[in-house]
Amino acid sequence: MAIGTVLLALREDPLGGGVSAEQLKRIGKELENRGLELRRAGDARDARAMLQTEAGIAAAVVAWDLPSRAA
């Protein structure tokens, strides 16, 4: 059972590849190992909807350049 939820609102797809994706995967895995559930949003609209509707979000990692909507 998760002790909380962390929202990852990022432009990069952690499953996509590359150095930053590898780092994001490692961070996500460590958060899960510590009992947190991960939720992902690829644009500001989805991130805002999750923040407004999900009471269990304990933290959010948000990209400064997060697009308004996914392309």
pLDDT in tens, 2-34: 789 999 988 766 566 677 778 888 998 999 999
Q: What is the pLDDT of residues 33-54, one digit of tens each?
A: 999 999 999 899 999 999 999 9
Alpha carbon distance 56, 71 (integer Å): 28
Over range 50-65, report the average pLDDT: 90
CA-based angle 10:56:65, to the nearest 5? 15
Query: Can you give the pLDDT at residue 25?
Result: 85
Which DSSP symbol is given to 35? T
Domain positions in the chain are 4-62
